[in-house]
Amino acid sequence: MPQVQIESDRLLICDPQKSRSSCNIFISRPTPLEEKNLGKLFIITEIETTDKINYEIINIIQEELKENFYNSEELNIEMAFENSLNKVNQKLHELITEGITHWLEKFNIIAAVIKAKNLYLTQVGKMHAFLIHKDRIIDIISQTPSFETKINPLKIFSNIISGELNHSDQLLLCTTSILDYFSQEKLRRMIVSSLPSEAAASLENLLLESPVHTSFAAIIIKLLEVDIANPVFEQENKKVIPRIINAPQSSMEKLIEKERTTAQYLTPSIWPNVGKTLKNIYFPLTNFIRLKILKRPARRTRPEELYRYRARQKEKRLWIKVFNQLFRILKFAAQGIYSFFAAFFGLFKKRREMKTKIKEFPKAADQKISRSISMLQRLTRKQKIILIVALIILFIFAESIVLIGKGQDKKLSAEQIANNINQIQEKTYQAESALSYSDEEGAKKLLAEATDLLNQLPKKSKTDKAKYDELSTLIQAQYVKTKHIIEITDPLVKFDFSNLDPNLNANGLIFSSNNLYVFNSNNEIYKGVISSGKMDKISKTSQDAGQFKLDANQTNNTVLFYHDKDGLLEFNTKTETLKPIEITFANQDKEIRDMYVFESKLYLLDVKNNQIFRHGRAANAYGESLSWIKDPNLNIKDTVSLAIDGSIYVLKSSGVVMELVQGRQVDFSLAEIDPKLTTATKIWTDANSNYLYILDPQGKRLVVFNKKGVLKAQYTSSKFDDLKGFAVDEKNKKLWLQNGLKVFEITLEL
Whether 177 shows a pLDDT value over 70: the answer reads yes
Whether 659 shows a pLDDT value over 90: the answer reads yes
CATH topology of domain 2-245: Phosphatase 2c; domain 1 (3.60.40)
Query: How many CB atoms are closer than 10 A to CB 301?
Result: 6
The DSSP code for 716 is: E
pLDDT at 272: 43
pTM for the structure as a whole:
0.49
Whether 90 shows a pLDDT value over 80: the answer reads yes
Whether 436 shows a pLDDT value over 80: the answer reads no
**Packed helices 381-406 and 304-345: angle between N→C axes, nearest 10 degrees:** 70
Whether 83 shows a pLDDT value over 70: the answer reads yes
Query: How many CB atoms are closer than 10 A to CB 259?
Result: 10
Give domain limits for the chain: 2-245, 314-406, 414-482, 492-747
The DSSP code for 557 is: S
Say whether domain 492-747 belongs to CATH 1.10.287.110: no
Average pLDDT over residues 649-678: 92
Beta strands in 619-733 (DSSP E): 621-624, 626-627, 639-644, 648-652, 657-661, 664-665, 682-684, 691-696, 701-706, 711-716, 723-729
pLDDT at 255: 38
> Hey, which residues does 612 pair with through a beta bridge?
605
pLDDT at 213: 84
pLDDT at 344: 63
Whether 351 shows a pLDDT value over 60: the answer reads no
pLDDT at 210: 78
pLDDT at 355: 58
Q: Which of 44-53, 71-80, 341-350, 526-535 bottoms out in mean pLDDT, i.e. has the lowest?
A: 341-350
pLDDT tens digits, 476-512: 888 888 888 899 999 999 999 999 888 888 888 999 8
Residue 208 pLDDT class (50, 70, 90 cuts): confident
Closest CA relative to residue 701, chosen from 479, 484, 443: 484
pLDDT tens digits, 94-151: 888 888 888 888 899 999 999 988 999 999 988 999 999 878 898 888 766 545 556 7
577 or 556: whose pLDDT is higher? 577
pLDDT tens digits, 247-301: 333 333 443 344 444 334 334 444 444 444 444 555 555 555 545 554 444 433 3
Query: Residue 363 — φ and ψ, nearest 5°?
Result: -65, -45
Q: Give the chain's mean pLDDT.
A: 80
pLDDT at 130: 92
Whether 32 shows a pLDDT value over 70: the answer reads yes
pLDDT at 402: 64
pLDDT at 337: 74
**Packed helices 440-455 and 414-436: angle between N→C axes, nearest 10 degrees:** 160
pLDDT at 719: 95
213 or 722: whose pLDDT is higher? 722
What is the per-residue DSSP string for 33-84? HHHHHH-EEEEEEEESS--THHHHHHHHHHHHHHHHHHT-S--SHHHHHHHH
Q: Which of 140-144, 240-244, 586-590, 712-716 bottoms out in mean pLDDT, i.e. has the lowest?
A: 240-244
pLDDT at 311: 52
pLDDT at 727: 95
Whether 91 shows a pLDDT value over 80: the answer reads yes
Closest CA relative to residue 5, chosen from 257, 201, 253, 255: 253
Query: How many CB atoms are closer than 10 A to CB 517?
Result: 22
pLDDT at 273: 47
Average pLDDT over residues 559-567: 88
Q: Which of 220-224, 478-482, 502-506, 731-735 has the highest mean pLDDT?
A: 731-735
372 or 536: whose pLDDT is higher? 536
Query: Residue 149 — φ and ψ, nearest 5°?
Result: -85, -20
pLDDT tens digits, 660-674: 999 999 999 998 888
